[in-house]
Amino acid sequence: APSTLYTSALPTISGTALDPVGANPAINKSRMRDVKIAIQLISNGNWWDGVSFSTTNTQFTNEGGFNADPKSFWVAASTETEGLGASPINWSSAPISMPLTPGSTYIMYARGRDNALNFNSPITSHTFIWDPTPPTIALQSPAPSIHNKRIPALSVLSGTADDNTALALVELRIRYDTIGQAQTGKYWDLQSKVAPNFGIDPSAAETAWFPATSLVSWSTNAFASFWGSNNSSFTVIARARDLAGNYTVTYASVSFTFDTGAPSSFVSVPSSNVITGLPCVGAVCLSGTALDVPGDGLVKFSSVAVKQLSDGYWLGGGGAFSVPPQATPNWLPATVATPGNQ
């Protein structure tokens, strides 16, 4: 250890060593004398001396390099377990506190020596990138701005992720939050063939993750029929993992409710189709009511358009029929006294 290119934890360094000459019946051991390790920082070529990376590559070479012994840049393994006959020894370093820089690349060398004072050749090496920093993730669709709000539709999920070295995976899970349903609080099961597919209990939430497409700018495919029915509520959760195995510390999460039921509106004034003029009261000449059923029962915005049938002109913002004929109504904002059904 480490055994992978990207590493997030390095409490000890460990491995095996074996003298290839074979077993000596008179010495029933592996005949290894010791194992030492050396670590080089690639960016400047310096070597670890057990405390810091202060030994330059020139010093390393001038003081004997790979053949030097003893030297501060060759740190002895603290545990060596002898095996019988030709079996290897298992060695490890003492717990280490090494000043590694996130995102930097290092080469670790392990050198064994037998009782005849021979060093192994070639010296074993392993390159690793130090990455203890977890990735970050963000949702764009659904956007954080619609958290705990009602939306008309959501075709795909998408967002971004970032890491100081390299990303490995972006995952999502979807929780069903509609109150009073058998699936409430459960998670979507990508593998299930039975609608509505929310069969994963909260206790097994870790099995509900499914992969997104791509990494830095990720998305999903469109969802099936369970998605988007009126008054259905969901929570989308996203996380990322980097190549060192670090997961996002704070997952991205947005909760929302679908509202696909269109509201209805009614004209109260004027109240008949034959009038001699608008019965204005102060600045109010047109009024009515609006109703959102089914839905959340709140109408938060209304607008009105008036078309003059004689020439097709639409009422403009100045109170005159000044907008030329067009296919789209010229909607003017109306005042909603208080959001609700009114």
Least confident of 90-94, 100-104, 125-129, 140-144: 90-94
Mean pLDDT confidence for 88-100: 82
Tokens 């298992």, located at residue: 90
3-state helix, strand, coil in the chain (%, to 5): 5, 35, 60
DSSP state of 144: G
Q: pLDDT over 90 for what percent of the chain?
A: 45
| Per-residue pLDDT tens digits for 8-32 | 988 788 888 877 665 555 555 557 7
DSSP state of 236: E
How many H-runs (helices) and E-runs (strands) does the chain carry?
1, 20
What whole-number distance in Å separates Cα of residue 128 and Cα of residue 106?
5
DSSP state of 320: S
Strands laid side by side in the 217-219 sheet = 136-141, 158-162, 217-219
What whole-number distance in Å separates Cα of residue 176 and Cα of residue 255?
10
What whole-number distance in Å separates Cα of residue 48 and Cα of residue 93?
14
Joined tokens for residue 146: 């619609």
| Per-residue pLDDT tens digits for 260-288 | 888 888 888 887 777 766 666 556 677 88
Tell me the pTM: 0.76
3-state secondary structure 79-96: EEECCCCCCCEEEECCCC
Which pLDDT score, from 0 to 100, does residue 10 have? 83
287-291/264-269 β-pairing = antiparallel
Burial class (CB in 10 A: 0-12, 13-18, 19+), 19: buried
Which pLDDT score, from 0 to 100, does residue 25 have? 55
Burial class (CB in 10 A: 0-12, 13-18, 19+), 169: middle
Q: CA distances (Å), 332 to each of 109, 228, 335, 336, in order?
A: 75, 30, 10, 13
| Per-residue pLDDT tens digits for 188-231 | 988 775 666 889 999 999 999 999 999 999 999 877 656 778 88
**Position 13, amino acid:** I
Residue 305 has pLDDT above 80, yes or no: yes
Which pLDDT score, from 0 to 100, does residue 11 have? 75
Residue 107 has pLDDT above 70, yes or no: yes
Which pLDDT score, from 0 to 100, does residue 105 have? 96
